[in-house]
Amino acid sequence: MDQDLIEKQILLLKKRFENNKIVRETVQWNNIEAKLKANPKKCKALSAMESSGGEPNVVFYDLENDEYWFFDCAIESPLGRRSLCYDDEALENRKQNKPQNSALNLATQMEVEILNEEQYTFLQNLGNFDIKTSSWLKTNDSVRKLGGAIFGDKRYNRMFIYHNGAESYYASRGFRACLKV
């Protein structure tokens, strides 16, 4: 990623940070910008989050580890990351009508993590997300070994966590990413 693109990405993130007061009271933008400029690889991951429709924003500062957490803050699950089954095992097991990719594989390619249930709950406490869509969530091994995976959404002003076969995929289900900088 060239320096000009990094600067454009940082400027977009700064504008979003200033317009959304998620953590503005406790975090200074200059500190975030310095970390981003020192980590071009993280800027590339944020650019991938952005280009796939995620609208990443800082939602949390982990003081203990000195990390800023960026989550996808688009109202609906990112459009460029929908119609995916959960992981590559599910993709390979699917006999017909295979999707283009899996959520975990795409997250790996983007160098991000899929939100887990705790992170998704945190995000939903910040606003109303996935009102018309749903998002795959990091699924523990005990559920995954049985063929399932979990996803979340918000309906009726309430967050729900559900299960589904990991091989399933829908035009309205994607995944939300987390990147720690």
Separation of alpha carbons 149 and 38, rounded Å: 36
The model's pTM: 0.95
Separation of alpha carbons 164 and 14, rounded Å: 37
pLDDT of residue 23: 78
pLDDT of residue 20: 82
Q: 90, 107, 101, 159: which is closest to 128 by C-alpha?
A: 159
Span 64-91, pLDDT tens digits: 999 999 999 999 999 999 999 999 999 9
User: In which residue ranges of the chain is pLDDT below 70?
Assistant: 24
On the 0-12 / 13-18 / 19+ scale of CB atoms within 10 A, 65 is exposed
pLDDT of residue 2: 84
Separation of alpha carbons 112 and 90, rounded Å: 20
Give helix 3-19 / helix 40-51 axis angle, nearest 10°.
60
Please report, in angstroms and rounded to a whole number, the separation of the first and last CA atoms in the chain: 17
Task: Give residue limits of the domains in the chain.
Answer: 3-72, 79-180
40 three-state secondary structure: helix
With vertex at residue 119, the alpha carbon angle to CA 62 and CA 66, rounded to the nearest 5 degrees, is 10
pLDDT of residue 135: 99
Record: fold of 79-180: Mannose-Binding Protein A; Chain A (3.10.100)
pLDDT of residue 22: 77
Span 93-115, pLDDT tens digits: 998 999 999 999 999 999 999 99
pLDDT of residue 21: 75
